[in-house]
Amino acid sequence: MKIYPGNGFQVYEERRVVVEDWHAELWLDDADSLVRTWRAWSTLGKSAVYGEDTHNVISDARRAISLR
């Protein structure tokens, strides 16, 4: 992964970001927060896998766990 996925977040109508933290749910609607969230989403998307690649990642993880 290019960055640690960290906290979960949702984007609502491209105007508000709700970030889930350990101790709070943050509702952000300022321009800087929206830009940073879209930048993080784009970076995370570069690490995403789909289809057969997804099965390969899961299989590799299962093998790694069973080797311990």
Residue 5 has pLDDT above 80, yes or no: no
Residue the block writes with tokens 């789909």: 50
Strand 9-12 with 16-20, pairing: antiparallel
- What is the C-alpha to C-alpha distance for residues 23 and 7, in angstroms, rounded to an integer? 11
Looking at residue 68, what is its pLDDT?
Answer: 67
Condensed to tens digits (0 to 9), the pLDDT of residues 27-38 reads 999 999 999 999
Give the model's pLDDT for residue 22. 84
Q: How far apart are CA 31 and CA 46, in angstroms?
A: 23
pLDDT, mean over the chain:
90
Q: What pLDDT is stored for residue 6 in this prediction?
A: 80
